[in-house]
């Protein structure tokens, strides 16, 4: 029932992971193009991924509460602690929103007023895709998630200290959970459109929010499994048995299949409709980013499906650890391909526009003065040529590099540290929850 104390060895490991993340960001900044696109896109990529995982934790708590599900009550404090990363996510997205508002980066093509004025598609979406909406609505939605996550956790902890036969706080949790579920359903779609889909502003898909939500949900389940195995290895959560892990493994298997169903449905409908504004998204990734595109399916469907298909694999710690790591990394990879191609294209457009403006007044070189009969201009910037490299895949955009993985490790250490910090501030098991006995005696 007691809270945890993090061993010094584990603190050192998390510190090393955090240091790797910082060094990786520094190396990206030093080697980046003049617009620092790789740096900003890495911050956006990881911030959105881990923030949505935290949201899915409180979302699943509310689902279980409204469904009267008691199987996970014994370890729900892990999800409550994971959801508190939303505070960190707010700070990270606030930083990105400042960058949008003051023009510190070029992650979104729609943030350039001159570009929007010349583009009928962007002009038509400008009531939604604009700096004020991104900052005020995006951060406002994130703040509402924090409110619900804090409310649910506070009521859960208060319940431990009150012997209430009527379970008043439990009833309050059901009330707030019922409110949050529709709020999360609609608001998550809005921020996913804002944060991720608008990176490719000419493209749209009505299934993208569902697809991204399923991706982050299964990642949350994978991290839950890793957290629980880690805590059990340190002598905690004796009440969590193999049947709990079996159920979590079934969720990971089921939602990996569900994610694949959404992936195929989105692809099939866009392929069948054959509308240029929609097909460009997949054409770009299949032709220019084949490793990302096909690797996404292998990591997030083929491997989890084949490994977890057998019933007994969901009851083995070793298998669950391996598959959870694959799933977590695979959906991080998926988010990478959502962000990187669009931001690279935007930086390309910005650099080309800048070069065009800087060379528009350059005098033509007469044939007698050079070897070519055509007028010459200054070449594109070194950073731009490095990023594209004549179609040759470049680490950091076309595939994740060591620095990108290092940044992910840094964010993972931040997520783990935040979760463990909040876990240490309350009892690991909610002793007064009315469904606790159902969880403690959970069997198939």
> Tens digit of pLDDT for each residue in 274-326?
988 889 999 999 999 999 999 999 999 999 999 999 989 999 999 999 999 99
Query: According to the model, what pLDDT value does residue 287 have?
Result: 92
Predicted pLDDT at 30? 87
pLDDT at 3: 64
Q: Which residues contact 4 (CB under 8 A, 6 or more apart)?
A: 231, 234, 236, 420, 423, 424, 428
Report helix, strand or coil for 395: strand
- C-alpha 373/C-alpha 432 separation (Å) is 84
Task: Return the exposure string of 330-357: e unless at least 16 CB atoms fall within 10 Å of the residue's CB, then b.
Answer: bbbbbbbbbbbbbbbbbbbebbeeebee
- Tokens describing residue 153: 């956790």
pLDDT attached to residue 391:
43
The pLDDT of residue 125: 92
Q: Residue 52: which of 11, 93, 23 has the closest Cα?
A: 93
Q: What is the DSSP string of 234-279?
A: TT--TT--HHHHHHHHHHHHHHHHHHHHHHHHHHHHHHHH--HHHH
66 CB-contact burial (10 Å; exposed 0-12 / middle 13-18 / buried 19+): middle
The pLDDT value given to residue 368: 38
Output phi, psi for 425, to 5 deg: -95, 5
Tell me what pLDDT residue 356 has. 59
Rounded to two decimals, the pTM is 0.91
Contact yes or no for 146/86 (Cβ under 8 A) = yes
pLDDT at residue 337, rounded to an integer? 95
Question: What Cα–Cα distance (Å) separates residue 148 from each residue in 17, 31, 71, 83, 175?
Answer: 30, 41, 22, 10, 11
Please check whether residue 219 is in contact with residue 331, taking contact to mean a CB–CB distance below 8 angstroms: yes
274: which residues sit within 8 A by CB, 6+ positions away?
none
Rounded CA-CA distance 140/389 in Å is: 40
CB of 239 closer than 8 Å to CB of 74: yes
Q: Give dist(CA 348, CA 343) in Å, integer.
A: 8
The pLDDT tens digits of the residues spanning 108-152 come to 999 998 899 998 999 999 999 999 999 999 999 999 999 999 999
Which residues sit opposite 399 in a β-bridge?
395
How is residue 309 annotated by DSSP? S
Euclidean distance between CA atoms 301 and 260, whole angstroms: 6
CA end-to-end distance (rounded Å), the chain? 24
| Alpha helices (H) in 72-207, listed in sequence order | 76-83, 86-102, 113-118, 120-124, 131-132, 138-160, 168-195
Ranges of the chain with pLDDT below 50: 1, 361-393
pLDDT of residue 377: 35
Residue where the block lists tokens 């990176």: 199
CB within 8 A of 44, min separation 6: which ones? 96, 107, 195, 339, 343
Dihedrals phi, psi of 395, to nearest 5 degrees: -60, 135
In whole angstroms, give the CA distance from residue 292 to residue 397: 10
- Residue 349's pLDDT is what? 75
Nearest to 175 by CA among 151, 141, 157: 151
Q: Is 27 helix (H, G, I), strand (E, B) or coil?
A: helix
Buried b / exposed e along 266-291 (16+ C-beta atoms within 10 A): bbeebeeeeeeebeebbebbeebbee
Taking each helix axis from N to C end, the angle separating 168-195 and 37-66, rounded to the nearest 10 degrees, works out to: 150
Under DSSP, the state recorded for 434 is T
pLDDT at 382: 39
């Amino acid at each position: 029932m007691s809270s945890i104390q993090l061993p010094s060895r584990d603190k050192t490991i998390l510190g090393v992971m955090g240091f790797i993340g910082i060094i990786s960001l520094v190396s990206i900044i030093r080697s980046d193009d003049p617009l620092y696109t790789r740096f900003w896109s890495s911050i956006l990529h990881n911030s959105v991924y881990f923030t949505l995982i935290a949201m899915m934790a409180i979302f699943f708590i509310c689902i279980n509460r409204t469904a009267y599900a008691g199987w996970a009550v014994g370890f729900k404090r892990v999800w409550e602690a994971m959801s508190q990363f939303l505070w960190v996510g707010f700070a990270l997205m606030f930083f990105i929103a400042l960058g949008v508002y003051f023009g510190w980066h070029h992650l979104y093509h729609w943030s350039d007023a001159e570009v929007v004025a010349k583009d009928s598609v962007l002009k038509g979406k400008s009531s939604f895709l604009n700096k004020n909406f991104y900052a005020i609505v995006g951060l406002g939605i994130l703040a509402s998630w924090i409110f619900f996550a804090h409310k649910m956790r506070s009521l859960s902890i208060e319940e431990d200290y009150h012997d209430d036969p009527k379970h008043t706080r439990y009833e309050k949790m059901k009330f707030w959970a019922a409110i949050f579920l529709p709020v999360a359903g609609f608001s998550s779609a809005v921020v996913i459109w804002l944060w991720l889909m608008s990176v490719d502003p000419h493209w749209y898909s009505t299934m993208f929010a569902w697809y991204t939500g399923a991706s982050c949900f299964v990642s949350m389940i994978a991290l839950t499994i890793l957290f629980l195995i880690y805590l059990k290895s340190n002598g905690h959560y004796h009440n969590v048995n193999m049947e709990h892990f079996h159920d979590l493994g079934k969720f990971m298997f089921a939602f990996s299949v569900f994610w694949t169903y959404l992936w195929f449905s989105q692809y099939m409908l866009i392929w069948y409709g054959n509308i240029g504004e929609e097909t460009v998204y997949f054409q770009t990734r299949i032709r220019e980013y084949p490793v990302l595109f096909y690797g996404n399916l292998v990591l997030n469907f083929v491997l989890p499906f084949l490994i977890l298909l057998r019933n007994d694999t969901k009851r083995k710690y070793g298998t669950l650890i391996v598959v959870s790591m694959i799933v977590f990394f695979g959906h991080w990879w998926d988010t990478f391909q959502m962000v990187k191609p669009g931001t690279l294209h935007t930086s390309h457009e910005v650099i080309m526009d800048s070069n065009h403006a800087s060379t528009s007044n350059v005098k033509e070189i007469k044939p007698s003065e050079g070897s070519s009969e055509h007028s010459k201009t200054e070449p594109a910037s070194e950073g731009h040529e490095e990023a594209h490299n004549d179609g040759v895949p470049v680490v950091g955009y076309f595939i994740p590099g060591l620095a990108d993985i290092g940044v992910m490790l840094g964010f993972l250490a931040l997520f783990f540290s935040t979760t463990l910090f909040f876990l240490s501030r309350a009892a690991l098991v909610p002793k007064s929850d009315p469904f606790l006995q159902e969880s403690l005696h959970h069997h198939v």
